[in-house]
Structure 1
């Protein structure tokens, strides 16, 4: 098979796994993208592709089934958009009101957040090259 067809899996390489990697994003987040009930913090990485970490606390989603649904929907959104996203580490956090959103609204929120992040990173790269 040719290598031109993109794969849409979600392997370990697309995940932020260690507490050190999470801490790096929290400490040096260059980009913040807000959505209703969600916040994404991002910083450039050196691995050449997007990586994502999820932080959905009991404070904002009491039941494990709700947190798991949020994680599943977020992973699916990243999985489908991974080829458009720049090489950044993203940590997605839940906020108050996240459970008030239905699945379609949440999917739209995430898609809009990825588009804004893509634009912000491109704008920052353009500003860096013109400076």
Structure 2
């Protein structure tokens, strides 16, 4: 398997997988148009799922364009991401963005995810204040 594949096992497919991410969100990143929820998984790789409602993005062509651009970005960045499940939620402003703006927005979110500062702090290394 190539590092740039987007195979079936790199996708969230079942409602229970989506529910687990919604119920146990460990990290969230947002922009005015996109929201990413992330939760650790037991798999060996990162996985991706979409929730793009008709109420937010009215036309199927726009929903498909958003999914296509996010999938491509994920495919190129998945080797750098931790083994987590990601759910992408689109907001209504996505349709006003062109492909380049949307790509830059999602790439910035992946970059923030890879930074060490998004990890939870270790309580054992905190200094106690008196």
TM-score by length of 2: 0.88
Give yes or no for the alignment of 1:101 onto 2:97. yes
CA contact (8 A) 1:31 1:120 kept: no
Instruction: Give, in angstroms, the shift of residue 123 of structure 1.
Output: 2.8
SS at match of 1:58: coil
Q: Which residue of 2 aligns with 1:45?
A: 41
SS in 1 for 2:86: strand
Where do 5+ consecutive residues of structure 2 fail to align?
none
Question: For residues 1-131 of structure 1, what are the structure 2 equivalents within 5 Å?
Answer: 6-119=2-115, 123-124=119-120, 127=122, 130=125
**How far apart in 1 are the matches of 2:76 and 2:53?**
24
Instruction: Describe the superposition over 1:62-83 as per-residue Cα deviations: whole angstroms up to 9, x where unpaired.
Output: 0111101111111001001011
After TM superposition, give the deviation of residue 129 of structure 1 in Å. Answer: 7.9
CA contact (8 A) 1:8 1:79 kept: yes
Q: Closer, same or farther in 2 for the Cα pair 1:128/1:7, shift >3 Å?
A: farther
Residues 76-111 of structure 1, C-alpha deviations (whole Å, 9 max, x = no match): 010010111111100000012111111101000000
CA spacing shift, 1:31–1:120, aligned 2, 3 Å? farther
Q: RMSD in angstroms over aligned alpha carbons?
A: 2.0
Larger Rg: 2
- In the alignment, structure 1 segments of 5+ residues that lack a partner are none
